[in-house]
Amino acid sequence: MTKTESVHGIWASRWVFIFAATGSAVGLGNIWKFPYIAGENGGGVFVLVYLACLALVGLPLLVAEVMIGRRARQSPANAIRALSIETAASPFWRHVGALGVVAGFLILSFYSVVAGWVLHYITVTSQGALVDIGQDQATRLFNQLLASPQTLFLWHSLFLILVMAIVAGGVVHGLERATRLLMPVLFALLLVLLGFSVASPSFGQAWNFLFVFDWSSFTWQGGLTALGHAFFTLSLGMGAIMAYGAYMPNKASIGSAAVMIALLDTLVALIAGLIIFPVVFASQMSPDAGPGLMFITLPVALGQIPGGQILGVMFFILVSLAALSSAISLMEPAVAWMIERMGIGRIKASLMVTSLAWLVGIGALASFNVLNDLQLFGLNIFNLLDFLTANLMLPLSGVLVAVFVGWKVHRYISEDELAFSNHRLFKVWYLLIRFVVPAAIGVIFYQNL
C-alpha cells in the first residue's frame, strides 16, 4: 500500500528531505548542549561513546521513523495507527503516536524559551555589551535576563511567531522554503567560524580535548548521557523525523538518506565543539562550565579576543537559525495531525498549536522568576518539562517504535519500503532495531528513573 502522495505535500527532491531533516536534527542540542556535556564528561572518551551510540541506536531508529512516515504518508500519530491496522497489531499501538505529539508540543514550549535567550544574546552582543566582560559580569548579565519575565516573554513570543509563520506556510511553501534559505546560511556561518577557530592558537588544544581518548575519564554516567543525547540530537522519539519522512519522494533510498543526516548532524556537533573550545581555552577558562558554557563562558572568552564582537554576533545568529529549523519540526507533527483529525486548515492548526505552546512556555519562563517557588516533584516548570520529555517520553516512545517496527510490523513491509540494495545491510538493521535499540534505551530509561 505504498502511497506516492501526502495531503500535506511532498519535498521537491531527496536532497530537500535530507536538508530539512538535518535542519531538524541540528539545533540547540548540537551547539549549546553537545559542547557542554562533552566538556563536563571529559571530552575524548565521551565523544567516542557518543559516536558509537549514534551508529548503533540513533541511526537504526532514524531509518525506522522515516520508514513508518513514508509508508503511511500521514502525521506520525496517524502513520503508526495506519501501519498497526495494516499489520493487524493490537489497538494498543494506535496510541503510541499520540505520546509523540504531546512530547513534541511540550519540548517546543521550553525550546522556544531557550531560543529566546539566543535571540536576546544577538542584540546584547551586537550592542557591544560583552566587550571586556569578566566572569562575574557575564554571570550577572545572564541572571538578569532570567530574572526579567518581560524580556523572556518578548523573545519567547517572537520566536514562536517565526516558527508559526513558517509552519503555516505548508510543507512546500513554508518548511521547504525555510530549509532552502536557512541551511546554506547555517553551513556558511559554521565554516566561517571554523576558519577563525582553526587559525586560533588554541585550536590544537581543543582538538586534543575532543579527540584524544583517555579511558580513565570514562564514567557510566557519561555513557548514559551520550546515549540520551544521541536520541535528542537526531530528533528521535516524537515523530519529527517521521513527519518529515511522510513527505519524502518515493524512489529515494531511506538508508542512504539516514546515513547522510546522521553524518551531517555529527559533523555540526563536532565543529561546534571545535568553534567553542579554542575560544574557551584561549582565555584559560574551564571546559566544564555546564549549561552556562554558551551564555556565560563563551561571552567572557569572546570579550577578550580581537574581533570577538563580530564573531559573537555571527555565532548567536548561527545558533538561532539552527534553533528555528529544529523548532519547525517540533511543531509540524501536531499541526499535521490536527489538519487530518479535525479537518481544519493549516493556518488555523498552526495558530492553535502555537497558542498552546506559547501558554505552556510562559509557565516555563516564569519558573526562572515569578513562579520560582512553584515546584512539582522538586522541579520547577522548566525543569519538569525538560525531564518529562527528554528523560521519560522520548525514550519511552523510542523503545515503543523500535519494538513496533522490529516485532509487530511484518518483515516484508520493512524490506519493501527500505529496499536496501544489499540484503546484508537489511539484516544488520533488523538485528539492531529488534535487540540492540530496545536494550540500550531500556538501560537509559532505567537509569533515569
Question: Smallest gap, in angstroms, from Cβ of residue 405 to ligand TRP?
Answer: 17
Other C-beta atoms closer than 10 Å to the C-beta of 291 total: 13
How many residues in total does the chain contain? 449
By Cβ distance, which residue is nearest to ligand TRP? 29
- Could you list the beta-strand ranges (E) of 256-306: none
- Distance of alpha carbon 30 from alpha carbon 322, whole angstroms: 9
Question: Smallest gap, in angstroms, from Cβ of residue 227 to ligand TRP?
Answer: 14
Nearer to ligand TRP, 179 or 233 (CB): 233
Nearer to ligand TRP, 27 or 308 (CB): 27
Question: Smallest gap, in angstroms, from Cβ of residue 30 to ligand TRP?
Answer: 5
Question: Smallest gap, in angstroms, from Cβ of residue 156 to ligand TRP?
Answer: 17
Question: Smallest gap, in angstroms, from Cβ of residue 58 to ligand TRP?
Answer: 11
Nearer to ligand TRP, 232 or 358 (CB): 232
Question: Smallest gap, in angstroms, from Cβ of residue 29 to ligand TRP?
Answer: 2
Question: Smallest gap, in angstroms, from Cβ of residue 128 to ligand TRP?
Answer: 29
- How far, CA to CA in Å, does 222 sit from each of 10, 95, 191, 413? 40, 33, 29, 37
Vertex 357, ends 354 and 362: CA angle to 5°? 120
Nearer to ligand TRP, 155 or 232 (CB): 232
Nearer to ligand TRP, 130 or 164 (CB): 164
Nearer to ligand TRP, 27 or 39 (CB): 27
- How far, CA to CA in Å, does 333 sit from each of 161, 168, 169, 204, 224? 17, 13, 14, 42, 28
Contact 11, 171 (CB under 8 A): yes
| Phi, psi for 379 (deg, rounded to 5) | -125, 145
- Distance of alpha carbon 87 from alpha carbon 44, whole angstroms: 44
Nearer to ligand TRP, 244 or 420 (CB): 244
- Distance of alpha carbon 185 from alpha carbon 413, whole angstroms: 38
Question: Smallest gap, in angstroms, from Cβ of residue 364 to ligand TRP?
Answer: 16
Question: Smallest gap, in angstroms, from Cβ of residue 109 to ligand TRP?
Answer: 13
| Phi, psi for 409 (deg, rounded to 5) | -65, 130
Other C-beta atoms closer than 10 Å to the C-beta of 317 total: 19
The C-alpha torsion from 434 through 437 and 439 to 445, rounded to 10°, is -140
Nearer to ligand TRP, 40 or 65 (CB): 65
Vertex 348, ends 342 and 351: CA angle to 5°? 120
Is 212 exposed, middle or buried (CB count within 10 Å of its CB: 0-12, 13-18, 19+)?
exposed
- Supply 329's cell numbers: 519540526
Nearer to ligand TRP, 44 or 333 (CB): 333
Question: Smallest gap, in angstroms, from Cβ of residue 365 to ligand TRP?
Answer: 18
Other C-beta atoms closer than 10 Å to the C-beta of 44 total: 19
* Chain residues in the site for ligand TRP (CB under 6 A): 24-25, 27-30, 107, 232-233, 235, 237-238, 240, 326, 329-330, 394
Nearer to ligand TRP, 112 or 329 (CB): 329
